[in-house]
Structure 1
Amino acid sequence: MAGNTTDAATLDLQSQISSMKSQSGASVFDSYQTSLTGRYCSAEMSQLFSQRSRHSTWRKLWLYLAEAEKELGIENISDAALKEMREHLMVTDADFEVAKVEEKKRRHDVMAHVHAFGQVAPSAAGIIHYGATSCYVTDNAELLLMRDGLNLLLPKLAKVIANLSQFAMQWRNEPTLAYTHLQPAQLITVGKRAAQWAQDLLFDLEAIEHVRSGLQFRGAQGTTGTQASFLEIFSGDSKKCDALNELLCQKTGFPSCYPISTQTYTRKVDLLIANAIAGLAASAQKITGDIRHLAAWKEIEEPFEKEQIGSSAMAYKRNPMRSERIYALSRELLSKPSAFAATLSDQWMERTLDDSAIRRIDIPETFLLADAILLSLDNVTSGLVVYPARIAARVHEELPFMITESIIMRLVAQGESRQEAHEQIRVLSHQAAYQVKHEGKSNDLVQRIRSARFFEKVWNELDGMLDARLYTGRSCEIVERFCGPGGVLEGKLERYSGFIEKAGVAELNV
């Protein structure tokens, strides 16, 4: 009779699975797919946060818990149970179908997967999840996935910094207009600007490294973080509770567990990680904003392929679509810390479940966005196109204004009043600017200075002063000290040198 009952239950389960399969047989083109995985991010980051990866990680955590409990003297965990668990760590499509049926019935995703795991590891069915609460697998899995996600992001970020470092060294001597208030200011060099971009990204690298090195494990802490259930199964032996977490840390590669947990690890951890990653978004938006301006001025452009179309209507255009994509993705990533902060602040007492649904979205998207940004940023910074003649022409338009400070200083050195020299320069500069703005003519400030008797003492020096390289200050030296051999970046990027040397230029999916 019992056998017939089991057979009937099995047939009913198979019937439900078949029904779900037929319902889900539609093409991927018939349901919403996230653009992050479909268009923008890498295969490895997409795979890391996939359902198979997540739920297979749950199974590993259940195995680690059972192994550790057996090592600490729990006798009802058999070798056969552990063997079956090890043989079925990867969740199969069939397992997912079983879990889908179970979750529909039980309305609990963790217990659905406990039952699905128990079906393929029947000897372990009675001890899977022994002593644990759901957050043992959900929270610890998230920490594992985020740690691995950070490990994927860091070398990619280092590669972008290396790209910019190489670019900065190549163009460290090329004078270009600098801007304050988006108005022409003193000259810098093309390389100096790129070095500034690299420094911002270096700060992001260090911030992400910091949160990565500070990550700890939740471990087996029980329902409210008191380990009460584990204290019970170890017959009140507190040392075994500590030993259990030590074993779990060894198995998962974490240095230790957080000293205090509630039902979850504190959601402050998520916020710290999100803040560090969002720093990358701010830097990327700044960099690509600069590139978009430079492209508008036709000084520097992102890569543009031979058959690429810039505009469906205006065939001549070379729109900076890569930089615009990075800019847009960065805007979205910058919004994530506020969501994590709200989740943290709304965790009443020892935990409320309103963190679950949003974190299922926010954690993967934070990493997928950062990955997509870095892939595109690597592509852009590996192939920046510089137009030196155009840069020189724009410098030449403003150079007469740039030399006025030097003229004032030289006149004062020869006995003239600094205030009078400033006033004379101001008047002529405004006249020249009026001609440029209102009449569309060239900047003739130098000619006006040559015609004004007040400046006679520097007339013979004017030609020599019209060399843009005289006005870039220590730009070249600054770049070399930061990006050159023995410079700041060399030491900071050393641990990533193997990845940087082997990695090619990131290809965009679309």
Structure 2
Amino acid sequence: MSEYYENPLITRYASRQMAALWGAQKKFSTWRRLWVALAEAEAELGLPISEAQLNELRENVDKIDFDNAAAYEKKLRHDVMAHVHAYGDQCPGAKAIIHLGATSNFVVDNTDLILLRESLELVRDRIVAVIQALDNFAREHRALPTLGFTHMQPAQPTTVGKRATLWCYDLVLDLQEVEHRIAVLCARSTKGTTGTQASFLELFDGDHTKVRELETLVAQKMGFQRTYAVTGQTYPRGVDTHVLSTLGGVAASCHKAATDIRLLANRKELEEPFEKNQIGSSAMAYKRNPMRSERICGLARFVMSLTANGADTHATQWMERTLDDSANRRLSLPQALLGVDAVLSIYHNVASGLVVYPKVIERNLAAELPFMATENLLMEAVRAGGDRQDLHEVIRTHSQEAAAVVKQQGGDNDLLDRLRNDPAFAGVDIDAAVDAAGLVGRAPEQVDEFLNEVVEPILVRLGEQSAGGDELRV
């Protein structure tokens, strides 16, 4: 246990995979891979860099002396130059050509773009895992009637499976956005100190073609087929705005679903998984609080709050760049991704173990069903020869009286008995008209169509995905 504050995204919530992506080893090894890629490309284009120098650099990519780098940074007050010197100490034969022609943001920005790409790929896989879990849940409960809600007031019945497709479709749309973000990410590559490539033009004796070839070669070595067309010292900070907005959208979708689950848990219709020895409350031993869904909401709100950072930072980058982006981005980018990773991992756990209580659902639906069935009853009575407007007034009057019994007297909803005893509905089969299965419209068929036509192609294309591989730690 440390005496200092530790980020709970690392210690409690996010997966080891995402935490490692934003860890020091991954970051600084990637810096070194970029320096290797730069040196390789410069050698291929004719600069005097030997294969022995390149091999020395390659052999030490992952052998980082963090203590030595920290000592250099304390002295130089510059993190990139600290690591240039630390790398050079391990590669004395190549020391002179490390970072040749580059500015600090050659390694900083290109590394961030690589980490964003790999992190978004992990987020993509997490989303697919939750979609799979919701697909299974929706198929199982495709036709189970349940009370619908608009304005959080009882409304026309739907099915448990249809409601789950709403949660699932939110993630399908989020998946499209995440995949788009991955697809349009480019490398900054070798744009130079203010984006003019002046230093590289000097290295290649004014040969513009070789400078452009260098930019393409380095990008390709790091897995990018395209580079940003023009930049200042940094890649366009609007890219971060788009990424953070996309992550905020994912978080919002998860928050919405988790809120629904919390509300349904209050109605005792649905519960998240609850382990045998789990304690719901330190005081109230009987409680089964929806703490995982609550955690989803809490973390999702944090991620959503970070979306403003991207826009603010983008808006305040004066001219070719200012450095006020650095401290903010060290927090907002990794923490947004760690937060979404945690939210999706918990969501998968919840969606994979949702417990449904059909009898409670049936009871809650039955309490409101007389009101829900009035439209069907009206149409049946018209078919039996009644006047639509007169029948509407009869239903309205009986409905208000029945509602008064429920609200003012605490009694049962007796609307159906009132209608059975009213001559205007003598020719109507009341019981048949209020069969819940007949009031859900095309909900079961919509579940089938959505899962088969929208979800199934995603699962076929992207395959089975894990939820993260880590056991939930709290």
Range of TM-score over shorter length: over 0.9
Residue 84 in structure 1 maps to residue 23 in structure 2 = no
The alignment's C-alpha RMSD in Å is: 1.2
2:35 is aligned, of 41, 62, 75, to 62
Gaps in structure 2 of 5+ consecutive residues: none
Residue 496 in structure 1 maps to residue 472 in structure 2 = no
Question: Structure 2 CA distance, aligned partners of 1:297 and 1:498?
Answer: 33
Question: Structure 1 CA distance, aligned partners of 2:468 and 2:70?
Answer: 41
| 8 Å CA contact retained: 1:170, 1:191 | yes
| 8 Å CA contact retained: 2:17, 2:468 | no
Q: Secondary structure in 2 aligned to 1:293?
A: helix
| 8 Å CA contact retained: 2:159, 2:444 | yes
Percent of aligned pairs sharing the same letter:
50
Q: Higher relative CO (CA 8 A, sep ≥ 6), structure 1 or 2?
A: 2
Aligned to 1:21: none
1:48 is aligned, of 21, 35, 42, to 21
Question: Structure 2 CA distance, aligned partners of 1:30 and 1:43?
Answer: 22
Aligned to 1:483: 451
Residue 462 in structure 1 maps to residue 430 in structure 2 = yes
Q: Tell me by how many angstroms 1:402 deviates.
A: 1.1
Letter in 2 for 1:310: G
Gaps in structure 1 of 5+ consecutive residues: 1-27
| 8 Å CA contact retained: 1:379, 1:505 | no
Aligned to 1:11: none
| TM-score, reference length from structure 2 | 0.98
| 8 Å CA contact retained: 2:129, 2:464 | no
Residues matched between the structures, number: 474
Q: Secondary structure in 2 aligned to 1:101?
A: helix
Question: Structure 2 CA distance, aligned partners of 1:498 and 1:424?
Answer: 56
| 8 Å CA contact retained: 1:177, 1:185 | yes
Residue 248 in structure 1 maps to residue 218 in structure 2 = yes
Counting only pairs closer than 5 Å after superposition, residues 101-112 of structure 1 correspond to structure 2 as 101-112=71-82
Residue 272 in structure 1 maps to residue 242 in structure 2 = yes
Aligned to 2:344: 374
1:371-428 Cα distance to aligned partner (Å, 9 max, x none):
0011100100000000000000011101111111111112223333322211111111
Q: Tell me by how many angstroms 1:504 deviates.
A: 8.7
1:334-354 Cα distance to aligned partner (Å, 9 max, x none):
111111100000000100000
Alignment CA distance shift 1:505-1:433 (3 Å): farther
Question: Structure 1 CA distance, aligned partners of 2:468 and 2:309?
Answer: 35
Letter in 2 for 1:65: L
Q: Secondary structure in 2 aligned to 1:178?
A: strand
Q: Tell me by how many angstroms 1:249 deviates.
A: 1.8
Counting only pairs closer than 5 Å after superposition, residues 27-38 of structure 1 correspond to structure 2 as 29-38=2-11
Counting only pairs closer than 5 Å after superposition, residues 101-250 of structure 1 correspond to structure 2 as 101-250=71-220
Letter in 2 for 1:266: P
1:362 is aligned, of 314, 317, 332, to 332
1:73 is aligned, of 20, 26, 46, to 46
* Segment of structure 1 superposing worse, 83-92 or 163-172: 83-92
Q: Runs (4+) of structure 1 moved beyond 3 Å?
A: 503-506
Question: Structure 2 CA distance, aligned partners of 1:413 and 1:185?
Answer: 24
Q: Secondary structure in 1 aligned to 2:186?
A: coil
Question: Structure 2 CA distance, aligned partners of 1:463 and 1:61?
Answer: 73
Q: Tell me by how many angstroms 1:82 deviates.
A: 1.2
Question: Structure 2 CA distance, aligned partners of 1:87 and 1:402?
Answer: 72
| 8 Å CA contact retained: 1:52, 1:91 | no
Question: Structure 2 CA distance, aligned partners of 1:479 and 1:284?
Answer: 20
| 8 Å CA contact retained: 1:171, 1:190 | yes
